[in-house]
Chains A and B, each alone.
Chain A
Amino acid sequence: MKNSAVRDWGLRLLVFAVVVGLWEIFVGYSQNFLLPRFSETASGLFHLLFRDHRFWEALYVSNQALLLGYAVSLLVGIPLGLAAGRLRWMDRILNPYVGLLLAMPVAPLIPIVIIALGLGLSSRVFIVVLFAFVFITVNTRAGVRNVEPSLIEMAKSFGASEGQIWRRIVIPGAMPAIFAGMRIGLGRSITGMVMVELLLVASGLGRLLLEFSGRMQSDLVFATVLAVIIEAIALLTAMQAIERRIAGWAPDISIG
Protein backbone atom coordinates (compact mmCIF):
# COMPACT_ATOMS: atom_id res chain seq x y z
CA MET A 1 0.00 0.00 0.00
CA LYS A 2 2.59 2.49 1.19
CA ASN A 3 5.11 1.26 -1.36
CA SER A 4 2.72 1.52 -4.26
CA ALA A 5 1.85 5.10 -3.28
CA VAL A 6 5.53 5.99 -3.31
CA ARG A 7 5.94 4.29 -6.68
CA ASP A 8 2.89 6.07 -8.12
CA TRP A 9 4.23 9.43 -7.07
CA GLY A 10 7.64 8.53 -8.41
CA LEU A 11 6.15 7.71 -11.80
CA ARG A 12 4.03 10.85 -11.82
CA LEU A 13 7.05 13.00 -11.11
CA LEU A 14 8.93 11.16 -13.84
CA VAL A 15 6.19 11.95 -16.36
CA PHE A 16 6.25 15.57 -15.20
CA ALA A 17 10.04 15.73 -15.56
CA VAL A 18 9.89 14.22 -19.06
CA VAL A 19 7.22 16.68 -20.22
CA VAL A 20 9.11 19.64 -18.75
CA GLY A 21 12.35 18.37 -20.28
CA LEU A 22 10.76 18.00 -23.73
CA TRP A 23 9.24 21.45 -23.34
CA GLU A 24 12.62 23.00 -22.60
CA ILE A 25 14.32 21.15 -25.48
CA PHE A 26 11.53 21.99 -27.94
CA VAL A 27 11.65 25.69 -27.08
CA GLY A 28 15.45 25.59 -27.32
CA TYR A 29 15.30 24.26 -30.87
CA SER A 30 12.27 26.17 -32.10
CA GLN A 31 13.90 29.59 -32.16
CA ASN A 32 10.46 31.06 -31.48
CA PHE A 33 11.06 33.97 -29.16
CA LEU A 34 7.37 34.07 -28.17
CA LEU A 35 7.41 30.58 -26.77
CA PRO A 36 8.47 30.63 -23.11
CA ARG A 37 10.50 27.84 -21.57
CA PHE A 38 9.07 25.97 -18.62
CA SER A 39 11.56 27.75 -16.39
CA GLU A 40 10.36 31.14 -17.68
CA THR A 41 6.74 30.10 -17.16
CA ALA A 42 7.58 29.03 -13.62
CA SER A 43 9.27 32.32 -12.81
CA GLY A 44 6.32 34.11 -14.46
CA LEU A 45 4.03 32.24 -12.12
CA PHE A 46 6.21 33.26 -9.19
CA HIS A 47 5.99 36.86 -10.36
CA LEU A 48 2.18 36.68 -10.59
CA LEU A 49 1.75 35.06 -7.23
CA PHE A 50 4.09 37.26 -5.21
CA ARG A 51 4.88 40.40 -7.16
CA ASP A 52 1.68 41.27 -8.98
CA HIS A 53 -1.33 42.22 -6.88
CA ARG A 54 -3.45 42.43 -10.03
CA PHE A 55 -3.28 38.68 -10.39
CA TRP A 56 -5.01 38.12 -7.06
CA GLU A 57 -7.64 40.71 -7.89
CA ALA A 58 -8.26 39.03 -11.23
CA LEU A 59 -8.42 35.63 -9.57
CA TYR A 60 -10.96 36.99 -7.10
CA VAL A 61 -13.12 38.50 -9.85
CA SER A 62 -13.03 35.36 -11.96
CA ASN A 63 -13.81 33.13 -9.02
CA GLN A 64 -16.91 35.13 -8.22
CA ALA A 65 -18.37 34.06 -11.54
CA LEU A 66 -17.02 30.55 -11.12
CA LEU A 67 -18.35 29.92 -7.64
CA LEU A 68 -21.72 31.56 -8.21
CA GLY A 69 -22.14 29.84 -11.55
CA TYR A 70 -21.08 26.51 -10.19
CA ALA A 71 -23.39 26.83 -7.20
CA VAL A 72 -26.32 27.70 -9.47
CA SER A 73 -25.39 24.76 -11.72
CA LEU A 74 -25.55 22.40 -8.75
CA LEU A 75 -28.80 23.89 -7.48
CA VAL A 76 -30.40 23.56 -10.91
CA GLY A 77 -28.61 20.50 -12.24
CA ILE A 78 -28.93 18.08 -9.33
CA PRO A 79 -32.69 18.49 -8.69
CA LEU A 80 -33.42 18.29 -12.41
CA GLY A 81 -31.34 15.15 -12.68
CA LEU A 82 -33.01 13.60 -9.64
CA ALA A 83 -36.45 14.37 -11.03
CA ALA A 84 -35.63 13.10 -14.51
CA GLY A 85 -34.14 9.95 -13.04
CA ARG A 86 -37.12 8.97 -10.96
CA LEU A 87 -40.15 10.54 -12.65
CA ARG A 88 -40.92 9.14 -16.07
CA TRP A 89 -43.02 12.10 -17.24
CA MET A 90 -40.35 14.56 -16.17
CA ASP A 91 -37.75 12.62 -18.09
CA ARG A 92 -39.92 12.59 -21.19
CA ILE A 93 -40.30 16.37 -21.04
CA LEU A 94 -36.64 17.09 -20.34
CA ASN A 95 -35.05 14.52 -22.61
CA PRO A 96 -34.95 16.53 -25.88
CA TYR A 97 -33.72 19.66 -24.10
CA VAL A 98 -30.98 17.78 -22.31
CA GLY A 99 -29.86 16.31 -25.62
CA LEU A 100 -29.92 19.76 -27.17
CA LEU A 101 -27.89 21.30 -24.38
CA LEU A 102 -25.36 18.50 -24.47
CA ALA A 103 -24.82 18.86 -28.20
CA MET A 104 -24.98 22.64 -28.33
CA PRO A 105 -21.71 24.57 -28.51
CA VAL A 106 -21.96 27.21 -25.81
CA ALA A 107 -19.29 29.63 -26.99
CA PRO A 108 -21.34 31.02 -29.91
CA LEU A 109 -24.09 31.88 -27.45
CA ILE A 110 -21.87 34.17 -25.42
CA PRO A 111 -22.60 37.30 -27.51
CA ILE A 112 -26.33 36.66 -27.27
CA VAL A 113 -26.17 36.25 -23.52
CA ILE A 114 -24.19 39.46 -23.24
CA ILE A 115 -26.71 41.35 -25.33
CA ALA A 116 -29.45 40.03 -23.09
CA LEU A 117 -27.76 40.37 -19.71
CA GLY A 118 -25.10 43.00 -20.23
CA LEU A 119 -21.41 42.96 -19.47
CA GLY A 120 -21.70 42.37 -15.76
CA LEU A 121 -21.32 39.49 -13.42
CA SER A 122 -24.70 38.04 -14.27
CA SER A 123 -23.63 37.31 -17.87
CA ARG A 124 -20.54 35.52 -16.71
CA VAL A 125 -22.46 33.52 -14.14
CA PHE A 126 -25.04 32.58 -16.74
CA ILE A 127 -22.40 31.36 -19.18
CA VAL A 128 -20.75 29.28 -16.48
CA VAL A 129 -24.14 27.72 -15.73
CA LEU A 130 -24.71 26.99 -19.42
CA PHE A 131 -21.36 25.28 -19.60
CA ALA A 132 -21.79 23.17 -16.50
CA PHE A 133 -25.29 22.33 -15.38
CA VAL A 134 -26.39 19.93 -18.08
CA PHE A 135 -23.47 17.60 -17.35
CA ILE A 136 -24.44 17.59 -13.70
CA THR A 137 -28.03 16.82 -14.68
CA VAL A 138 -27.08 13.99 -17.02
CA ASN A 139 -24.84 12.32 -14.47
CA THR A 140 -27.33 12.69 -11.65
CA ARG A 141 -30.10 11.25 -13.82
CA ALA A 142 -27.91 8.29 -14.78
CA GLY A 143 -27.07 7.75 -11.12
CA VAL A 144 -30.73 7.65 -10.12
CA ARG A 145 -31.48 5.35 -13.05
CA ASN A 146 -28.72 3.00 -11.99
CA VAL A 147 -29.98 2.57 -8.46
CA GLU A 148 -30.64 -1.14 -8.15
CA PRO A 149 -34.42 -1.62 -8.60
CA SER A 150 -34.41 -4.45 -6.08
CA LEU A 151 -33.24 -1.97 -3.42
CA ILE A 152 -36.29 0.17 -4.04
CA GLU A 153 -38.46 -2.92 -3.93
CA MET A 154 -36.75 -3.97 -0.71
CA ALA A 155 -37.48 -0.57 0.86
CA LYS A 156 -41.10 -0.80 -0.25
CA SER A 157 -41.39 -4.28 1.22
CA PHE A 158 -40.63 -2.77 4.62
CA GLY A 159 -43.29 -0.16 4.01
CA ALA A 160 -41.00 2.76 3.17
CA SER A 161 -42.72 5.94 2.00
CA GLU A 162 -41.66 7.71 -1.19
CA GLY A 163 -39.77 10.23 0.95
CA GLN A 164 -37.93 7.47 2.80
CA ILE A 165 -37.10 5.78 -0.50
CA TRP A 166 -35.57 9.05 -1.71
CA ARG A 167 -33.59 9.65 1.46
CA ARG A 168 -32.47 6.15 2.23
CA ILE A 169 -32.08 4.56 -1.21
CA VAL A 170 -32.21 6.85 -4.24
CA ILE A 171 -29.98 9.70 -3.12
CA PRO A 172 -27.28 7.59 -1.46
CA GLY A 173 -27.38 5.21 -4.42
CA ALA A 174 -26.99 8.04 -6.90
CA MET A 175 -24.27 9.77 -4.87
CA PRO A 176 -21.26 8.40 -6.79
CA ALA A 177 -22.77 9.56 -10.08
CA ILE A 178 -23.74 12.93 -8.60
CA PHE A 179 -20.12 13.39 -7.56
CA ALA A 180 -18.95 12.38 -11.02
CA GLY A 181 -21.27 15.05 -12.41
CA MET A 182 -19.99 17.59 -9.91
CA ARG A 183 -16.41 16.89 -10.96
CA ILE A 184 -17.16 17.21 -14.66
CA GLY A 185 -19.30 20.25 -13.95
CA LEU A 186 -16.46 21.93 -12.13
CA GLY A 187 -14.13 21.41 -15.05
CA ARG A 188 -16.74 22.80 -17.42
CA SER A 189 -17.36 25.78 -15.11
CA ILE A 190 -13.70 26.71 -15.21
CA THR A 191 -13.70 26.48 -18.99
CA GLY A 192 -16.80 28.67 -19.11
CA MET A 193 -15.32 31.21 -16.77
CA VAL A 194 -12.15 31.69 -18.82
CA MET A 195 -13.99 31.50 -22.13
CA VAL A 196 -16.43 34.29 -21.41
CA GLU A 197 -13.71 36.54 -20.04
CA LEU A 198 -11.55 35.96 -23.09
CA LEU A 199 -14.25 36.28 -25.69
CA LEU A 200 -16.29 39.28 -24.63
CA VAL A 201 -16.41 40.36 -21.04
CA ALA A 202 -12.85 41.43 -20.42
CA SER A 203 -12.55 40.92 -16.70
CA GLY A 204 -10.73 38.78 -14.21
CA LEU A 205 -8.18 36.29 -15.43
CA GLY A 206 -9.42 36.52 -19.02
CA ARG A 207 -8.65 40.22 -19.10
CA LEU A 208 -5.25 39.57 -17.63
CA LEU A 209 -4.60 36.94 -20.30
CA LEU A 210 -5.63 39.38 -23.03
CA GLU A 211 -3.36 42.05 -21.61
CA PHE A 212 -0.36 39.77 -21.34
CA SER A 213 -0.79 38.42 -24.82
CA GLY A 214 -1.28 41.95 -26.16
CA ARG A 215 2.09 42.85 -24.68
CA MET A 216 3.58 39.60 -25.94
CA GLN A 217 4.40 38.56 -22.39
CA SER A 218 3.90 34.96 -23.30
CA ASP A 219 5.61 33.70 -20.16
CA LEU A 220 2.91 35.44 -18.12
CA VAL A 221 0.17 34.07 -20.43
CA PHE A 222 1.47 30.57 -19.81
CA ALA A 223 1.85 31.30 -16.12
CA THR A 224 -1.77 32.48 -15.86
CA VAL A 225 -3.01 29.35 -17.61
CA LEU A 226 -0.86 27.30 -15.28
CA ALA A 227 -2.42 29.10 -12.31
CA VAL A 228 -5.90 28.24 -13.58
CA ILE A 229 -4.85 24.62 -13.97
CA ILE A 230 -3.43 24.57 -10.45
CA GLU A 231 -6.64 26.00 -9.05
CA ALA A 232 -8.69 23.41 -10.94
CA ILE A 233 -6.53 20.57 -9.65
CA ALA A 234 -6.78 21.89 -6.09
CA LEU A 235 -10.57 22.10 -6.28
CA LEU A 236 -10.92 18.67 -7.86
CA THR A 237 -8.62 17.11 -5.28
CA ALA A 238 -10.64 18.63 -2.47
CA MET A 239 -13.80 17.32 -4.08
CA GLN A 240 -12.34 13.84 -4.50
CA ALA A 241 -11.46 13.77 -0.83
CA ILE A 242 -15.08 14.52 0.05
CA GLU A 243 -16.26 11.99 -2.51
CA ARG A 244 -14.12 9.24 -1.04
CA ARG A 245 -15.69 9.85 2.35
CA ILE A 246 -19.28 9.93 1.11
CA ALA A 247 -19.33 7.66 -1.91
CA GLY A 248 -16.21 5.56 -1.46
CA TRP A 249 -18.20 2.35 -1.74
CA ALA A 250 -18.75 2.57 -5.47
CA PRO A 251 -16.52 2.18 -8.49
CA ASP A 252 -15.88 5.34 -10.52
CA ILE A 253 -18.54 6.11 -13.12
CA SER A 254 -18.71 9.32 -15.10
CA ILE A 255 -20.46 10.53 -18.21
CA GLY A 256 -19.32 13.63 -19.97
Chain B
Amino acid sequence: MIRVRGLSKEFATFENGSGGVLALSNIDFDVRDNEFITVIGPSGCGKTTLLRIIAGLIPYDQGEVTIDGRPVTGPGPERAVVFQNFALMPWADVLTNVTFGLDIRGTPKDECQAKARELIKQVGLEGFEKRLPKELSGGMQQRVGLARALAVDPQILLMDEPFGALDEQTRRLLQEQLLLLWEQERKTVVFITHSMDEAVMLGDRVTLMTPRPGRVKEIIDVPLKRPRLRELEKSSLFLEVKEYLWENLRAMQVE
Protein backbone atom coordinates (compact mmCIF):
# COMPACT_ATOMS: atom_id res chain seq x y z
CA MET B 1 0.00 0.00 0.00
CA ILE B 2 1.23 3.42 -0.97
CA ARG B 3 0.52 6.15 1.54
CA VAL B 4 1.14 9.82 0.89
CA ARG B 5 0.51 12.32 3.69
CA GLY B 6 0.91 16.08 3.62
CA LEU B 7 3.33 15.91 0.71
CA SER B 8 4.73 19.19 -0.59
CA LYS B 9 7.37 19.77 -3.20
CA GLU B 10 8.91 23.01 -4.33
CA PHE B 11 11.12 23.41 -7.38
CA ALA B 12 13.81 26.08 -7.30
CA THR B 13 13.76 28.26 -10.38
CA PHE B 14 17.31 29.50 -9.94
CA GLU B 15 20.39 27.60 -8.94
CA ASN B 16 20.72 29.41 -5.63
CA GLY B 17 17.33 28.03 -4.62
CA SER B 18 15.37 31.25 -4.79
CA GLY B 19 12.18 31.86 -6.72
CA GLY B 20 10.65 28.51 -5.93
CA VAL B 21 7.56 27.14 -7.63
CA LEU B 22 5.28 25.08 -5.46
CA ALA B 23 4.60 21.98 -7.54
CA LEU B 24 2.73 19.94 -4.95
CA SER B 25 0.99 21.21 -1.86
CA ASN B 26 -0.21 19.09 1.02
CA ILE B 27 -1.08 15.96 -0.95
CA ASP B 28 -2.93 13.15 0.79
CA PHE B 29 -3.23 10.09 -1.36
CA ASP B 30 -3.53 6.37 -0.75
CA VAL B 31 -3.22 3.48 -3.14
CA ARG B 32 -4.45 0.13 -1.93
CA ASP B 33 -2.78 -3.11 -2.83
CA ASN B 34 -3.84 -4.52 -6.20
CA GLU B 35 -5.60 -1.31 -7.05
CA PHE B 36 -5.46 0.44 -10.39
CA ILE B 37 -5.51 4.15 -9.68
CA THR B 38 -5.40 6.82 -12.35
CA VAL B 39 -4.33 10.40 -11.80
CA ILE B 40 -5.67 13.17 -14.02
CA GLY B 41 -5.39 16.93 -14.00
CA PRO B 42 -4.53 19.84 -16.23
CA SER B 43 -0.92 20.31 -17.22
CA GLY B 44 1.08 21.87 -14.43
CA CYS B 45 -0.83 20.08 -11.69
CA GLY B 46 2.26 18.13 -10.69
CA LYS B 47 0.92 14.67 -11.48
CA THR B 48 4.21 13.55 -12.98
CA THR B 49 6.08 15.05 -10.03
CA LEU B 50 3.90 13.02 -7.68
CA LEU B 51 4.72 9.85 -9.61
CA ARG B 52 8.44 10.61 -9.65
CA ILE B 53 8.39 11.14 -5.90
CA ILE B 54 6.64 7.81 -5.35
CA ALA B 55 9.20 6.23 -7.70
CA GLY B 56 11.94 7.66 -5.49
CA LEU B 57 13.49 9.56 -8.36
CA ILE B 58 13.25 13.00 -6.80
CA PRO B 59 13.30 14.10 -3.16
CA TYR B 60 10.38 15.86 -1.50
CA ASP B 61 10.32 18.71 0.97
CA GLN B 62 7.54 17.97 3.43
CA GLY B 63 5.19 15.21 4.38
CA GLU B 64 5.68 11.49 4.16
CA VAL B 65 5.55 8.88 1.45
CA THR B 66 5.55 5.27 2.55
CA ILE B 67 5.18 1.93 0.84
CA ASP B 68 3.91 -0.78 3.16
CA GLY B 69 4.95 1.45 6.02
CA ARG B 70 8.53 2.02 4.83
CA PRO B 71 9.40 5.59 3.92
CA VAL B 72 10.47 6.16 0.31
CA THR B 73 14.05 7.39 0.14
CA GLY B 74 14.91 6.21 -3.36
CA PRO B 75 13.95 3.66 -5.98
CA GLY B 76 13.21 0.17 -4.71
CA PRO B 77 12.84 -3.32 -6.10
CA GLU B 78 9.11 -3.40 -5.39
CA ARG B 79 8.52 -0.55 -7.86
CA ALA B 80 9.02 -0.21 -11.62
CA VAL B 81 8.34 2.78 -13.84
CA VAL B 82 6.99 3.02 -17.38
CA PHE B 83 8.03 6.31 -18.97
CA GLN B 84 6.11 8.59 -21.28
CA ASN B 85 8.90 8.79 -23.84
CA PHE B 86 9.58 5.03 -23.48
CA ALA B 87 13.18 5.65 -22.33
CA LEU B 88 14.60 2.80 -24.40
CA MET B 89 18.33 2.54 -25.02
CA PRO B 90 18.59 3.29 -28.75
CA TRP B 91 21.80 1.26 -29.10
CA ALA B 92 20.38 -1.89 -27.58
CA ASP B 93 18.00 -4.40 -29.15
CA VAL B 94 14.58 -5.24 -27.71
CA LEU B 95 15.88 -8.19 -25.71
CA THR B 96 18.67 -6.16 -24.09
CA ASN B 97 16.26 -3.36 -23.29
CA VAL B 98 13.83 -5.76 -21.63
CA THR B 99 16.55 -7.47 -19.60
CA PHE B 100 17.94 -4.12 -18.39
CA GLY B 101 16.19 -3.99 -15.03
CA LEU B 102 16.89 -7.64 -14.24
CA ASP B 103 20.49 -7.21 -15.27
CA ILE B 104 20.98 -4.16 -13.07
CA ARG B 105 19.61 -6.10 -10.15
CA GLY B 106 22.14 -8.86 -10.71
CA THR B 107 19.88 -11.60 -12.04
CA PRO B 108 21.86 -14.42 -13.71
CA LYS B 109 22.03 -14.07 -17.47
CA ASP B 110 20.05 -17.18 -18.39
CA GLU B 111 17.27 -16.23 -16.06
CA CYS B 112 17.22 -12.66 -17.46
CA GLN B 113 16.89 -13.95 -20.98
CA ALA B 114 14.21 -16.48 -20.19
CA LYS B 115 12.14 -13.97 -18.24
CA ALA B 116 12.57 -11.30 -20.92
CA ARG B 117 11.57 -13.65 -23.72
CA GLU B 118 8.47 -14.63 -21.80
CA LEU B 119 7.45 -11.00 -21.36
CA ILE B 120 8.27 -10.07 -24.92
CA LYS B 121 5.85 -12.80 -25.90
CA GLN B 122 3.22 -11.53 -23.48
CA VAL B 123 3.28 -8.02 -24.91
CA GLY B 124 3.11 -9.45 -28.43
CA LEU B 125 6.61 -8.68 -29.65
CA GLU B 126 7.80 -12.19 -30.32
CA GLY B 127 10.20 -12.24 -33.26
CA PHE B 128 11.36 -8.66 -32.60
CA GLU B 129 13.99 -9.55 -29.98
CA LYS B 130 16.91 -8.48 -32.14
CA ARG B 131 15.38 -5.26 -33.46
CA LEU B 132 16.57 -1.83 -32.40
CA PRO B 133 14.03 0.61 -30.94
CA LYS B 134 14.23 2.87 -33.99
CA GLU B 135 12.97 0.00 -36.12
CA LEU B 136 9.77 -0.22 -34.07
CA SER B 137 6.62 1.89 -34.06
CA GLY B 138 5.79 4.01 -31.00
CA GLY B 139 3.26 1.48 -29.79
CA MET B 140 5.78 -1.33 -30.06
CA GLN B 141 8.40 0.75 -28.27
CA GLN B 142 6.09 1.27 -25.33
CA ARG B 143 5.36 -2.45 -25.26
CA VAL B 144 9.09 -2.89 -24.77
CA GLY B 145 8.96 -0.32 -21.96
CA LEU B 146 6.10 -2.21 -20.37
CA ALA B 147 7.83 -5.57 -20.72
CA ARG B 148 11.00 -4.12 -19.15
CA ALA B 149 9.02 -2.88 -16.14
CA LEU B 150 7.10 -6.13 -15.74
CA ALA B 151 10.25 -8.23 -16.12
CA VAL B 152 11.48 -7.27 -12.66
CA ASP B 153 8.15 -8.48 -11.31
CA PRO B 154 7.34 -5.35 -9.33
CA GLN B 155 4.59 -5.18 -6.80
CA ILE B 156 3.82 -1.63 -7.92
CA LEU B 157 3.78 -0.37 -11.47
CA LEU B 158 4.20 3.39 -11.87
CA MET B 159 3.10 4.59 -15.28
CA ASP B 160 3.79 8.17 -16.32
CA GLU B 161 1.42 9.03 -19.20
CA PRO B 162 2.67 5.86 -20.88
CA PHE B 163 0.38 6.16 -23.88
CA GLY B 164 0.41 9.95 -24.12
CA ALA B 165 2.81 9.99 -27.05
CA LEU B 166 0.81 7.49 -29.11
CA ASP B 167 -1.93 7.99 -31.65
CA GLU B 168 -5.52 7.25 -30.70
CA GLN B 169 -5.79 3.80 -32.27
CA THR B 170 -2.50 2.56 -30.84
CA ARG B 171 -3.38 4.00 -27.48
CA ARG B 172 -6.67 2.12 -27.38
CA LEU B 173 -5.02 -1.14 -28.35
CA LEU B 174 -2.42 -0.73 -25.66
CA GLN B 175 -5.05 0.15 -23.06
CA GLU B 176 -6.86 -3.08 -23.86
CA GLN B 177 -3.64 -5.05 -23.65
CA LEU B 178 -2.67 -3.43 -20.39
CA LEU B 179 -6.05 -4.35 -18.92
CA LEU B 180 -5.62 -7.94 -20.06
CA LEU B 181 -2.15 -8.13 -18.53
CA TRP B 182 -3.34 -6.46 -15.36
CA GLU B 183 -6.22 -8.92 -14.93
CA GLN B 184 -3.66 -11.76 -14.72
CA GLU B 185 -1.77 -10.44 -11.73
CA ARG B 186 -3.56 -7.33 -10.53
CA LYS B 187 -0.44 -5.45 -9.59
CA THR B 188 -0.86 -2.12 -7.89
CA VAL B 189 -0.81 0.51 -10.62
CA VAL B 190 -0.48 4.28 -10.44
CA PHE B 191 -1.30 5.57 -13.90
CA ILE B 192 -0.84 9.23 -14.82
CA THR B 193 -2.86 10.45 -17.77
CA HIS B 194 -4.36 13.52 -19.35
CA SER B 195 -7.08 11.58 -21.13
CA MET B 196 -10.44 11.40 -19.41
CA ASP B 197 -11.44 8.27 -21.31
CA GLU B 198 -8.26 6.58 -20.23
CA ALA B 199 -8.62 7.66 -16.62
CA VAL B 200 -12.13 6.25 -16.35
CA MET B 201 -11.61 3.19 -18.52
CA LEU B 202 -8.60 1.91 -16.62
CA GLY B 203 -8.95 3.10 -13.05
CA ASP B 204 -10.68 1.66 -10.05
CA ARG B 205 -10.47 5.20 -8.77
CA VAL B 206 -9.60 8.44 -10.48
CA THR B 207 -7.55 11.02 -8.63
CA LEU B 208 -8.40 14.51 -9.78
CA MET B 209 -5.71 17.12 -9.26
CA THR B 210 -5.77 20.91 -9.45
CA PRO B 211 -2.89 23.00 -10.79
CA ARG B 212 -0.54 25.59 -9.26
CA PRO B 213 0.03 24.38 -6.67
CA GLY B 214 -0.82 20.75 -7.32
CA ARG B 215 -3.45 19.51 -4.91
CA VAL B 216 -5.69 16.48 -4.81
CA LYS B 217 -9.17 17.84 -5.40
CA GLU B 218 -11.09 14.64 -5.22
CA ILE B 219 -10.75 10.89 -5.55
CA ILE B 220 -13.60 9.45 -7.56
CA ASP B 221 -14.69 5.83 -7.45
CA VAL B 222 -15.29 4.17 -10.79
CA PRO B 223 -17.64 1.31 -9.98
CA LEU B 224 -17.46 -0.25 -13.45
CA LYS B 225 -17.23 -4.02 -13.35
CA ARG B 226 -14.09 -5.95 -14.31
CA PRO B 227 -12.87 -7.21 -16.66
CA ARG B 228 -13.52 -4.00 -18.49
CA LEU B 229 -14.49 -4.22 -22.11
CA ARG B 230 -14.89 -1.51 -24.70
CA GLU B 231 -18.70 -1.72 -24.54
CA LEU B 232 -18.50 -0.04 -21.14
CA GLU B 233 -17.65 3.20 -22.90
CA LYS B 234 -21.28 3.46 -23.90
CA SER B 235 -22.60 2.71 -20.43
CA SER B 236 -24.28 5.55 -18.60
CA LEU B 237 -22.00 5.06 -15.60
CA PHE B 238 -18.87 5.56 -17.71
CA LEU B 239 -20.32 8.65 -19.34
CA GLU B 240 -21.45 10.01 -16.02
CA VAL B 241 -18.00 9.77 -14.43
CA LYS B 242 -16.42 11.24 -17.54
CA GLU B 243 -18.88 14.11 -17.59
CA TYR B 244 -18.18 14.79 -13.94
CA LEU B 245 -14.42 14.87 -14.63
CA TRP B 246 -14.92 17.22 -17.55
CA GLU B 247 -17.00 19.66 -15.51
CA ASN B 248 -14.26 19.80 -12.94
CA LEU B 249 -11.41 20.02 -15.40
CA ARG B 250 -13.12 22.71 -17.41
CA ALA B 251 -13.56 24.82 -14.31
CA MET B 252 -9.79 24.56 -13.65
CA GLN B 253 -8.66 25.28 -17.15
CA VAL B 254 -7.05 28.68 -17.32
CA GLU B 255 -7.33 30.06 -20.83
Chain A interface residues (CB < 8 Å from chain B): 148, 150-151, 153-160, 164, 168-169, 172-173, 175, 247, 249-250
Contact between A157 and B55, CB atoms less than 8 A apart: yes
Contact between B105 and A159, CB atoms less than 8 A apart: yes
B interface size (C-beta, 8 A): 25
Contact between A151 and B89, CB atoms less than 8 A apart: yes
B77-85, B213-221, B223-231, B242-250: which one contacts chain A?
B77-85
A148→B90 CA distance, assembly (Å)? 10
With A150-B83, A153-B57, A249-B132 known as contacts, the answer to whether A158 contacts B105 (CB < 8 A) is: yes
Contact with A along B99-136 (1 / 0, CB 8 A): 01101110000000000000000000000000010100
Q: Taking each of B55, B89, B101, B134, which has the highest tally of chain A beta carbons within 10 Å of its own beta carbon?
A: B89
Q: Is B87 positioned at the interface, with any CB of A under 8 Å from its CB?
A: yes
A227→B101 CA distance, assembly (Å)? 51
A170→B224 CA distance, assembly (Å)? 45
- Chain B residues, CB < 8 A from A148: 85, 87
**Residue contacts A-B, CB under 8 angstroms, 26 given:** A151-B89, A153-B83, A153-B87, A154-B81, A154-B87, A156-B75, A157-B55, A157-B79, A157-B80, A158-B80, A158-B100, A158-B101, A158-B105, A158-B152, A159-B74, A159-B75, A168-B89, A168-B100, A168-B103, A169-B89, A173-B89, A247-B91, A249-B90, A249-B132, A249-B134, A250-B91
A228→B105 CA distance, assembly (Å)? 50
A15→B85 CA distance, assembly (Å)? 44
A91→B92 CA distance, assembly (Å)? 29
Contact between B75 and A157, CB atoms less than 8 A apart: yes
- Chain A residues, CB < 8 A from B87: 148, 150-151, 153-154
Q: Is B63 positioned at the interface, with any CB of A under 8 Å from its CB?
A: no
Given contacts A153-B57, A168-B100, 4 further A-B contacts (CB under 8 A): A154-B100, A159-B76, A249-B91, A250-B90
Contact between A175 and B75, CB atoms less than 8 A apart: no
- Chain B residues, CB < 8 A from A169: 89
With A159-B76, A172-B91, A173-B91 known as contacts, the answer to whether A154 contacts B104 (CB < 8 A) is: no
Smallest distance from the beta carbon of B175 to chain A beta carbons, Å? 22
- Chain A residues, CB < 8 A from B89: 151, 168-169, 172-173
- Chain A residues, CB < 8 A from B79: 157
Chain B interface residues (CB < 8 Å from chain A): 55-57, 74-77, 79-81, 83, 85, 87, 89-92, 100-101, 103-105, 132, 134, 152
- Chain A residues, CB < 8 A from B76: 159
A250→B132 CA distance, assembly (Å)? 11
Contact between B83 and A154, CB atoms less than 8 A apart: yes
Q: With CB as the reference atom, state the residue of chain A lying closest to B58.
A: A153
Contact between A158 and B104, CB atoms less than 8 A apart: yes
Q: With CB as the reference atom, state the residue of chain B lying closest to A172.
A: B91
Contact of A164 among B81, B85, B104 (CB under 8 A): B104
Contact between A159 and B90, CB atoms less than 8 A apart: no
Smallest distance from the beta carbon of B78 to chain A beta carbons, Å? 11
Contact between B132 and A159, CB atoms less than 8 A apart: no
Of all A-B residue pairs in the complex, the 10 with the closest CB atoms, nearest first, are A154-B87, A158-B101, A157-B81, A150-B87, A249-B91, A158-B104, A160-B104, A159-B75, A157-B75, A172-B91
Q: With CB as the reference atom, state the residue of chain B lying closest to A150.
A: B87
- Chain B residues, CB < 8 A from A150: 83, 85, 87
Smallest distance from the beta carbon of B167 to chain A beta carbons, Å? 21
A175→B91 CA distance, assembly (Å)? 10
Q: With CB as the reference atom, state the residue of chain A lying closest to B76.
A: A159
Smallest distance from the beta carbon of A40 to chain B beta carbons, Å? 48
Smallest distance from the beta carbon of B188 to chain A beta carbons, Å? 16
- Chain B residues, CB < 8 A from A151: 87, 89
Contact between A159 and B81, CB atoms less than 8 A apart: no
Q: Taking each of B87, B92, B152, which has the highest tally of chain A beta carbons within 10 Å of its own beta carbon?
A: B87
Smallest distance from the beta carbon of B136 to chain A beta carbons, Å? 13
Smallest distance from the beta carbon of A242 to chain B beta carbons, Å? 15
A157→B55 CA distance, assembly (Å)? 7
